[in-house]
Every structure is written in structure tokens, then in C-alpha cells.
Amino acid sequence: MASIPQSKLPVINIENMKPGTETWLSACHKVRHTLEEYGCFMVVSDGLSQDFKKEVYANVKTLFDLPTETKMKNTSPTPFHGYLGPFRTRQLYESMGIEHATSLDDVESFANLMWPSGNDQFSKTMHSYANLVSKLENLVRKMVFESYGVDKYHESFSESMTFVLRLNKYRPPKSNETNLGAVPHTDKDFVTILSQNQENGLEVQIKDDEWMNVEFLPSSFVVMATDAFMAWSNGRIKSPSHRVVMNGQEDRYSIALFSFKKGIIEIPEELVDEEHPPRFKPFDHFKFLEFYAKDSRYLDHRAIELFCENN
């Protein structure tokens, strides 16, 4: 079991390992056990150099500096995939979505919407970022599948994955405003991978009444499990509740890569037995997202429970 120093997210090294080696297998188990216990961990990645990160966040800031009516052109038929302006439960928040961000054409289409003659630098940078992070997403899933002995499903699962890159901005609160940038919630994609500029604010609920302040290390990402990943694992993996609290005086920017599976997610038969009867019926991931967009009565894991019960 991963042991963690008091109030620090576990940091796991998952890069530069050869599948099949003992180091690899032991890392796979560590990833799985940490996701079962905490639902999230931190990865320090060679790919996120200080220079690259600066370039990524400079581009994100340029994007948010555009007029609101331009940003509102970022629309999508899929819920939570386009522009989100500040709203009642997220007054400090503004967010944009780049769908299929691992395809350069799609990032360019997004940039063409935002800037009349496109923005090559933005497109190249965000596309490289999306590729780096989607590789990490793939690796995390592979490690968990392998640790559960269901690696044979990994490849076909990966072929059905699609990614949206969500760029977030949180402004500091005015004196009469709440400092809650994002209310407590669990994520509805499959694996979330987060980074931030230098401003902290993410908090993860470790126990009922205990919120852990996440301090991102340089070059780090936070890997977070979700309701869909929890359901796939028949309830073994934790979908941690998290929130954003703005204590600083500077704008906070973060980027979330959300992965979604096109089609049905079902519990592998290997994770079902007499002691572990299936807790979730097979479900269509995007239909779950549509359901959640219409019925957001529960922001936490109860949403997937309700959806699977009634579909």
C-alpha cells in the first residue's frame, strides 16, 4: 500500500519503465492501490519542462484575454465540452473546451474560431500538450488494467477513447464573494489529468471532513479517477470529491484533460464474483454525460449510481 507523508498527495513515478519488468509491475500495483485508496496521485513528467509549461500557460492566458463574445463561439453539442462562463455555483470560473485535442486539425479549427487568421503557435503548443497528457492517460489506464489482470481489454478500450482539453481560469474573489472556485464534485469522464500555473487552489477530499490542499510540484500533473472509472472497476477505484478554493490574489489557470469512451463501459467479468456482484450495469459514457447535464441533483458518485439504476 502506498504510504503518504501527512497531507501530501502520493507521488508515483510511471514514466520510462519497460512493461513486463518488476519495476513496471510494482508501479502498476502502486498506481492501482493509490487510486483505490485516494482516487488520485501526482506524477512528475519529463515532458512538462518549465519552458514548455510557460509556453502552454502563456497561450492559455492569451485565449482568456479574448472578448467574451469571441470565447462564446466555443460551442459543442456535447454537454460540458464548450465555453462555460461564470455561473451561480462557480462565480470565479470561466472555461473553454478543445474537443479531440489530440488531432492538430481539431485544435486548428478551434484556433480559427478564436482568431480570424488562426494562431499557429497556440495550435502547435496545445496540440503537443494534449498529446503528452493523453499518452499519460493511456499509460495510467494500462497500468490499472494490468494490475487487475485485465490488460487484454486495454487496447480496444484505448481505441474508443476521445479527449477534450478543458482550459480553466479562476479569478480571485472580491471582498463580498465566496472564495470557492469550484464546488465539491466528482468527475464524469474516465481519467482526468490536471496541471496548473503557479497558483494553488485544488483540494481533494481524503476523508469525510478532511480536505487536502494539493501543492503541485514543478513539472507535475495530478491524475484523478472518476465516477466512470469507479463504475468500471466495480466500485474498487475511488472517485474523489474535489473542489477549488481561491486563497491567492492572482488568477489561477488550470488545464484538465478529460478522457471519454465512445460507447459502452462495462465491468470486466474478471472483477465480478460472488463476493463482488456487479454494482453497475453497463452504461453508455456519453449518455451518462447527457443524463448528468439534465439532472445535476448529485454532483458526486450518486449520479452514476442513479444513472445505472434507471437505464
One-letter amino acid of 256: A
CA distances in angstroms from 60 to 89, 122, 125, listed in the order given: 23, 8, 10
**Residues 94-123: x/- map of binding to Fe ion (CB under 5 A)?**
------------------------------
What is the Cα–Cα distance from 254 to 60, expressed in whole angstroms? 9
The distance of closest approach from Cβ of residue 23 to Fe ion in the complex, given in angstroms and rounded to an integer, is 31
Cell numbers for 3: 504510504
Under the criterion CB under 6 A, does residue 119 sit at the interface with ligand AKG?
A: no
Pick from 101, 180, 256, 265 the residue near ligand AKG by CB under 6 A: 256
Q: Which residue of 34, 147, 254, 259 would you call a contact of ligand AKG, by CB under 6 A?
A: 254
> How big is the site for ligand AKG, counted in residues (CB under 6 A)?
11
> In the set 94, 106, 108, 187, which binds Fe ion (CB under 5 A)?
187
Closest CB 118 distance from ligand AKG, rounded Å: 27
Residue 156 has which C-alpha cell? 480496444
Residues 254, 169: Cα–Cα separation, whole Å: 7
Specify the residue for cell string 474516465. Answer: 190
202 binds, among ligand AKG, Fe ion, none (CB under 5 to 8 A by kind): ligand AKG
168 makes contact, choosing from Fe ion, ligand AKG, none, with CB < 5 to 8 Å by partner type, with ligand AKG
Q: Is 199 in the site for Fe ion (CB under 5 A)?
A: no
Cα–Cα distance, 254 to 197 (Å, whole number): 6
Does the footprint of ligand AKG cover residue 244 (CB under 6 A)?
yes
Do 80 and 74 touch, CB atoms closer than 8 A? no
Q: Which does 254 bind (CB under 5 to 8 A by kind): ligand AKG, Fe ion, none?
A: ligand AKG
Map residues 157-196 to x or -, x wherever contact with ligand AKG holds by CB under 6 A.
---------x-x-------------x----x------x-x
If 0-12 CB within 10 Å is exposed, 13-18 middle and 19+ buried, where does residue 92 land?
A: buried
Q: Which stretch binds Fe ion (CB under 5 A): 94-102, 133-141, 170-178, 183-191?
A: 183-191
| Nearest to ligand AKG of 9, 244 (CB atom) | 244
Looking at the Cβ atoms of 56 and 244, the one nearer to ligand AKG is 244
Residues that bind ligand AKG (CB under 6 A): 166, 168, 182, 187, 194, 196, 202, 242, 244, 254, 256
Residues that bind Fe ion (CB under 5 A): 187
